[in-house]
Amino acid sequence: MKVTVVGLGKIGLPLAVQFAASGAHVFGADVSDSVVEQVNRGSEPFPGEADLDARLSEVVASGRLVATTDTAEAVSESDVVVVVVPLFVDDEARPDFGWMDSATDDIGRGLRRENNTLVVYETTLPVGTTRTRWKPRLEEVSGLVEGEDFHLVFSPERVLTGRVFADLRKYPKLIGGLGDEGTQRAKSFYEQVLQFDERPDLPRGNGVWDLGSAEAAEFAKLAETTYRDVNIGLANQFGKFAAANGIDVHQVIEASNSQPFSHIHSPGIAVGGHCIPVYPRLYLWNDPDATVVREARAANAGMPAYTVGLAVDALGGSLSGKRVAVLGAAYRGSVKETAFSGVFATVDAIRSAGGDALVHDPMYSDEELSSFGWSPYTFGEQVDVVVVQADHPEYREIGKDEVPGVALVVDGRRVLDRSRFDGVPVLVVGEGARR
């Protein structure tokens, strides 16, 4: 079986490696010459993905994975095409299909009637996109007919960067096709290239789940991520109320979640990454009347300013003349990625309050931090205020000795060991004054 994976990013490359390790001959297609060159050397182009380096080296050395910039040529030789090209959303919550349109045109040029190719989109999409955008576009470019000459299926990726291989085993693979033949072929394909953990807790058991239509599969991904955004928005609302009334919201959440019908998430300074801040907007594109979703997204987007506001209020209404160290550029701990990270809004809020913002992150060099327009911070330098933005494990070990002169700490992730800041006020999002 020959498979083309279109898009060798932080999800696409591990997928290509997984398919190759399971016996397929895989073409990895990407527009980046440097990515293709690195993959063909057996070298991972981005750090941080567990087990990727060793697995990539093995499948490249065996000849089961070859990278190329010629997507159409790779598709012309393939039985299956899996698309993991990024979809972006602008500030007005409108999808920008530019990269995906370009990739789809390349795929269409490579489709051959004699191959009867299965095309699977894994990029998260607004409901209806597979049927109303990709089907006619592929048919127009290729001159072929979906359901007769090729088959189209949607199957959302459900993994997190840093643990892709583990997540591929842990969660059911959802599929939804435009026709029965394509659906069955997708089911057979994923059963060959994925291995699943035992999950007796699941009503269907673990494996490939057919949801009956592409639209249902598209909706399932949006629903699971939008749920998380709304849940976090509720937790943040609870956190603000608790702090204003001298209550520790974390104790409240722990107590509430001690029975099986409550699953409240944790409040925090920001919701970042490629998924949770973005996919609710894709849902809103189809359902603009979803006021609950819209309000939760707005509430979460406002948390960096609220968190910095805790410091502003504690210091008399201004950060003027204060050096403020923001700990964490990444959107979450142990992941070198700034997509929709709260660091941007946090730095803006500090500057708006008159503070001098400096940024630290153990995963980024000073040069990389400077390229974002930030002044890098190094432990040991004098600082007046600390704001924790990312829950890197390294931050659990720091104390006031690492940030000399600090007069106030705001922990936006509840990650610090407060005993290491003896004598320094530590404010935590969602916690009121303690008795």
Residue 135, in any domain of the structure: yes
Quick: pLDDT tens for 264-323. 999 999 999 888 999 999 999 999 999 999 999 999 999 999 999 999 999 999 999 999
Same domain, yes or no: 318 and 271 = yes
Please report whether residue 44 resides in a domain: yes
User: Tokens 């923001």 sit at which residue?
Assistant: 326
On whether residue 32 sits in a domain, the answer given is yes
Query: In terms of Cα–Cα distance, which of 191, 186, 189, 194 is closest to 165?
Result: 194
Domain boundary among 212, 233, 262: 212
Work out how many domains the chain is built from and give that number.
2
What's the CATH code of the domain at 207?
3.40.50.720
Query: What is the per-residue pLDDT for 433?
Result: 54
Question: Are 208 and 254 within one domain?
Answer: no
Q: Which of 212, 234, 261 is where one domain is finished?
A: 212
- Digit-coded pLDDT (tens) for 385-414: 999 999 999 999 999 999 999 999 999 999
**81 and 203 housed in the same domain:** yes
81-98 pLDDT per residue, tens: 999 999 987 766 689 999
On whether the pTM is more than 0.85, the answer is yes
Q: What is the pLDDT of residue 89?
A: 79
Among 91-100, 330-339, 367-376, which range has the highest average pLDDT?
A: 367-376
Supply the pLDDT for residue 88: 82
Tell me the sheet residues that pair with 208: 173
Which phi and psi (to 5°) does residue 120 adopt? Answer: -120, 125
Taking each helix axis from N to C end, the angle separating 343-352 and 303-314, rounded to the nearest 10 degrees, works out to 40
Tokens for 269, please give them.
Answer: 């300074």
The runs of H, that is alpha helices, within 155-260 are 164-170, 180-193, 214-244, 249-256
Whether residue 420 sits in one domain with residue 271: yes
Spell out the residues 6+ positions from residue 288 whose beta carbon is closer than 8 angstroms to its own. Answer: none
Tell whether 184 and 71 lie within a shared domain: yes
202 shares a domain with 58: yes
pLDDT above 90 covers a percentage of the chain that reads 94
pLDDT tens string 191-243: 999 999 999 999 999 999 999 999 999 999 999 999 999 999 999 999 999 99
Residue 255: predicted pLDDT: 98
**pLDDT tier at 432 (50, 70, 90 boundaries)?**
confident
Do 145 and 47 reside in the same domain of the chain? yes
Of 221, 240, 322, 400, which is the active-site residue? 221
Query: Are 156 and 91 contained in the same domain?
Result: yes
Domain limit, last residue, from 191, 212, 233: 212
What is the per-residue pLDDT for 91? 65
Catalytic residue among 10, 135, 275, 322: 275
Residue 85 located in a structural domain: yes
The candidate with the shortest Cα–Cα distance to 430, out of 229, 232, 250, is 250
Residue 275 is a catalytic residue: yes
Q: pLDDT averaged over the chain? A: 96
pLDDT at position 90: 75
Domain of residue 429, residue span: 248-435
Q: Is residue 43 part of a domain?
A: yes
**Per-residue pLDDT, 434:** 47
Q: Say whether both 155 and 298 belong to one domain.
A: no
Say whether both 407 and 271 belong to one domain. yes
Residue 10 vs residues 18, 19, 291, 368: alpha-carbon distances, Å: 13, 15, 32, 19
Q: By mean pLDDT, which of 28-37, 138-147, 303-312, 424-433 is the weakest?
A: 424-433
Residue 265 within a domain: yes
Q: Are residues 136 and 275 in the same domain?
A: no
- Mean per-residue pLDDT for 316-338? 95
Same domain? For 104 and 188 the reply is yes
DSSP-assigned letters across all residues of 92-134: TS-EE-HHHHHHHHHHHHH--GGGT-EEEE-S---TTHIIIII
Residue 23, in any domain of the structure: yes
* Token pair belonging to 320: 């003027």
Task: Assess if residue 70 is contained within a domain.
Answer: yes
pLDDT at 156 over 50: yes
User: What torsion, rounded to 10 degrees, do the Cα atoms 132, 133, 134, 137 define?
Assistant: 110
- Helix, strand, coil share of the chain (percent; to 5): 40, 15, 45
Q: Which two tokens stand for residue 185?
A: 């072929």
